[in-house]
Structure 1
Amino acid sequence: MSKTRRISCLAAAASVIALAATACGAPEDEDEGRGAVPDDATDCANYEQYGDLEGETVTILGSIRDTEADEMMEAWSYFEECTGATIEYEGTGEFEADMAIRVDGGNAPDIALFPQPGLMSNFADSLVPASEEVTSLATEGWTEDWLNYGTVDGTLYAAPHSSNAKSFIWYSPSYFADNGYEVPQTWDELIALSDQMVADGIQPWCVGFESGGATGWPGTDWIEDIVLREGTDLYDQWVTHEIAFNDPQIVAAIEKAGTILTNEEYIYGGTDTISATPFQEAGYPILDGGCALSRQASFYGAMWPEGTNVAEDGDVFAFRFPESNEGDNTMLVGGEFVAAFDDSESTEMVRQFLASELYHNARLQTGPWSTARQGVDPANATTPINEFATEILTDPEVTVRFDGSDLMPGAVGASSFWTGVVEWVSGDKTAEQMATDIENSWP
């Protein structure tokens, strides 16, 4: 076991010691202590193509930390054992700042897991383009929508890593069944359902935008979902600033979101609670019937209180954010991209492995995770919600668009958009005022 993985184990919080011990157990002697992975992931014959990398070290920097990092390292631990390579992973909570410091200081990691395509493009001059082999794996594994986000000025630099399905609305299947409610398929049906719930005496929506220094980001997802469903061309023009942020079509989309988010009858606790309610806990009242609906991504499946059964027939589950236009099949997504600053053979082999079906199938089984990698078996996912998300993400018929605020300049996507949403939902600004302020902040 590499030193990096041992350190990760020792640093694990007490609450996850058992899990961390499993993820970091000495693989040489205790295979029974490891996470369940497909048999082919443990067979060294499947790693012969990567050659003998004994003594080689590849460094990876990413924003993934804690338990999730341990689960990720577990998925590539067999690659390390079978090839002899050591992968030293470091997770940081200040990824954007750390990347800039390291690249400017000539100390870039061999590989970076970029959570934002726009951020990755800032470093294109320092990145190593994808080789023919990585390009072939990426083309085989992901749809053109995904490949476009790993491409800068026509050159592919990065294959995707994890993928999150963001266009989800959480609900209680039993509450729906008990009250005769049906999962809405269109926006109009969603509003009709919300009105019915109000008539039945419940405030239907639980909403929370509080997230420390990033307060407001859950609200940007709402608007992105609605703009995407108004039209993919409109969405693309918006995030690339081909049209202004305060274009009438975008203002109309914000106002459409406001039919839910600024409606006192709809919001559990009232609209003035939205900005102060932590997004992690926002959906919890669904469990006791306090509200019935909460919009959040697939990763929210890991945030429910201990003991919550997250399943199609469980305490909570999710359905897809309804479409506005008949025949559309869209999904707002997030994820990371595997980009390299080093062109050594060992780095190239790690890049190829991380783009492989072998790795993605193994990673599905080492902990809650979802992927858009074609060829994986969604049933390998460890939770029903990650299986559901992976089924959607690997469906080539689904049109995906990356989180809009992650594609916009940081001054907008990670600043004025966040604060603008809070001011708007709190009633301090109209949709048009909010949009105009954000437009004026665009670099």
Structure 2
Amino acid sequence: MTRRFKMLTLLVVNLLIVAVGVVVVWTQHGDEEPVTILGTWTGQQEKQFKTVLRGLGIPFQYQGTAAQREVLLSKVQSGEPPDVVIMPGIGELAEYKDQNRLKPLDRLYDPKQYGAPWNAAGTASHHVYWVPVKADLKSIVWYREGHRPPNSPAPLASWCIGMGDDGASGWPGTDWIEDLVLQRAGPGFYTQWALNTGGATKKWWTSDSVRNAWTAWAGLLGQGRTAAKHALITDHRGDPGDHGLLFSRDCALEHQGSFARSFYGPKDTEHARLMDSAPLLPGGGTRVRAHEVTGDFAALFSGRSQARELIHRLSSKDAQQQWAQVAGVFSANRQVTPKNEPVERQIARRLLKGPRCLDASDVMAPAVRDAFYEAVLLTIARVAAKPRQDPRIDTLLENLQKVQDVSTADNDHPALQTVCSTH
């Protein structure tokens, strides 16, 4: 071996060592990078959530945005997804799971602490891919202390209604229709409709149960053109600086989830009371068949050990209990104790006992969910423009069914198997 060849060989070996060293250093640096988290909470809710995250002892970088779907899609397409995503849209998470984008959460939390319908939302897979880190109750109506309404359908003038949102306007209207379907047709039909059970062979959107619920809601809106018009231009949280719709508008009832308390402000929250929505809905006279519930679910887009550990700690009883105390939020973890106050106990009891069904639009495919939102807004717009004319509900439902059929053709193996608990 010539001296020149030896020197060349030594140079190549040294370069390889340096290259390997760079890889090792980069990998180690990657493990030390803060865990990136993408969520929907901004403002005061973001501050409260960061307080909980700091208590976990893991460096993090949180981004809160109302345009979460668009931001996440952009990051995924650019090859730089966040480590952790927290969102209510299980249907959207299911699509990412089908694309093999999500990492299993096996052994990172105890599914038995959550139970149905929270426990992996009944996925067909043997793995779990998301865990609820915050829970909220729906199928309830808020009213002011001392002004409990009678158990009968309430007129439009009584309702505080706002469709606006920073991210996806229209979802408060889907809550009304979902609740009407749930209370009238029961959890069985609700599950089939939400999951499109039977695929292209079934037409759930054009069924009598969905049509009748939609018609009842449109009939309520038709009682007042001005109220319908205001619903379109009103934010569901009320005006900035106000105390939510219930305590700042000339109305007495709000069909809103348990998260509405965060809009009211501390003093108003003390005077907010709740009751089951069933007897107050259009048509009334129905018993409570189940409660609609919703949650914010954490999922992993990376396999980083720090990100996995953050999920493990965030879903633990201790972290969930701390969040409940810091922000007054609710947990689907059965071991978390709510504050010893009447309203908190009522919410916690309904969240963890009795038939419960996940928000239908949250579990639907994103394309179907978005079409649902738009159809709700179009219904209100038509009623506001011509309250005495048919808002053409049949046409709206036929169009929704077409969107559902296309979505089913694109994905005929849904990741979710059930959305309702049986007890």
TM value normalised by structure 1: 0.71
Partner of 1:435: 397
Whole-Å separation in 2 of the counterparts to 1:374 and 1:298: 18
* One of 127, 132, 144 as aligned partner of 2:102: 127
Contact 1:298 1:386 in 2 (8 A): no
1:304-359 CA distance string (max 9 Å, x none): 3x574223xx2x32222227797755221222212112233322222211121111
Shift of 1:284: 6.1
Does residue 1:225 correspond to 2:197, yes or no? no
Conserved 8 A contact 2:159-2:252: yes
Contact map agreement 2:120 2:130 (CA 8 A) in 1: no
Q: 2: CA distance between counterparts of 1:69 and 1:212?
A: 15
- Residues 360-412 of structure 1: per-residue CA shift (max 9 Å, x gap): 000111123222111111117xx87555433321x2x3222222222223233
Equivalent residue in structure 2 for 1:58, among 26, 29, 35: 35
- 1:215 is the counterpart of 2:169: yes
Q: Decide whether aligned partners of structure 1 residues 140 and 153 sit closer, same or farther in structure 2, where only a CA change above 3 A counts.
A: closer
Do the aligned partners of 1:146 and 1:400 also contact (CA within 8 Å) in 2? no
What residue number does 1:48 align with? Answer: none
Instruction: Select the residue among 345, 352, 366 that pairs with 2:326.
Output: 366
Taking the aligned partners of 1:298 and 1:240, their CA distance within structure 2 comes to 24
The alignment status of 1:309 with 2:268, answered yes or no, reads yes
State the alpha-carbon separation in 1 of the partners of residues 231 and 378 from structure 2: 11
Identity %: 22
The amino acid that maps onto 1:401 is C
Which residue matches 2:378? 423
Question: Which position in structure 1 is the counterpart of 2:145?
Answer: 173
Matching of residues 14-25 of structure 1 within 5 Å: none
What amino acid is the match of 2:339? Answer: A
CA contact (8 A) 2:112 2:119 kept: no
- Alpha-carbon spacing, 1:412–1:131, altered in 2? closer, same or farther (3 Å): closer
When residues 141 and 164 of structure 1 are mapped into structure 2, their CA distance, relative to the original with a 3 A threshold, is same
- Kindly state the Cα deviation for residue 118 of structure 1 after the two structures are TM-superposed: 0.9
Return the alpha-carbon distance in structure 1 between the equivalents of residues 175 and 289 of structure 2. Answer: 17
Whole-angstrom CA distance in 2 between matches of 1:156 and 1:99? 21
AA aligned to 1:68 is Q
Paired position in structure 2 for 1:343:
303
C-alpha distance in structure 2 between counterparts of 1:384 and 1:69, whole Å: 26
Correspondence for 1:115 among 88, 91, 108: 88
Look up the match of 1:410. 366
Q: Report the residue type matching 2:231 in the other structure.
A: I
Residue 159 (structure 1) aligns with: 131
Query: Offset at 1:155?
Result: 2.7
2:66/2:166 contact within 8 Å kept: no
8 Å CA contact 2:236, 2:245 repeated in 1: no
Distance in 2 of aligned mates of 1:286 and 1:64:
22
CA distance in 2, matches of 1:161, 1:228: 25
Q: Cα offset for 1:259? A: 4.3
Q: Which residue of 2 aligns with 1:357?
A: 317
Letter in structure 1 aligned against 2:67:
E
- 1:98 Cα deviation after fit: 2.1
Q: Does 1:141 align with 2:113?
A: yes
Question: Compared with structure 1, are the counterparts of its residues 320 and 103 closer, same or farther at alpha carbon in structure 2 (3 Å cutoff)?
Answer: same
For 1:58-77, list aligned pairs within 5 A: 58-77=35-54
**Structure 2: runs of 5 or more not aligned:** 1-30, 407-423
Contact 1:370 1:390 in 2 (8 A): yes
Cα separation, partners in 2 of 1:155 and 1:288, compared to 1, 3 Å = closer
* Counterparts in 2 of 1:95 and 1:384: CA distance versus 1, 3 Å: farther
Contact 2:186–2:290 (CA under 8 A) maintained in structure 1: no
Instruction: Determine helix, strand or coil for the equivalent of 1:234.
Output: helix
CA contact (8 A) 2:206 2:398 kept: yes
What displacement does 1:223 show?
A: 0.2
What is the alpha-carbon distance in structure 2 between the residues aligned to residue 285 and residue 363 of structure 1? 25
How far 1:140 sits from its partner (Å)?
2.4
| In structure 2, distance between residues paired with 1:430 and 1:143 | 41
Aligned to 1:389: 347
Structure 2 CA distance for partners of 1:102 and 1:307, relative to 1, 3 Å: closer
Distance 1:171 1:348, change over 3 A: same
Match of 1:236 in 2: 191
Give the 3 Å change call, closer, same or farther, for CA 435–75 of structure 1 in structure 2: same
Amino acid at match of 2:88: P
Instruction: Describe the shift of the 1:350–1:257 C-alpha distance in structure 2 as closer, same or farther (beyond 3 A).
Output: same
Equivalent position of 2:17 in the other structure: none
Task: Quote how far apart the aligned CAs of 1:143 are.
Answer: 1.7
In the alignment, which of 310, 331, 335 is matched to residue 375 of structure 1?
A: 335
Counterpart of 2:158? 204
Please identify the structure whose Cα radius of gyration is greater: 2
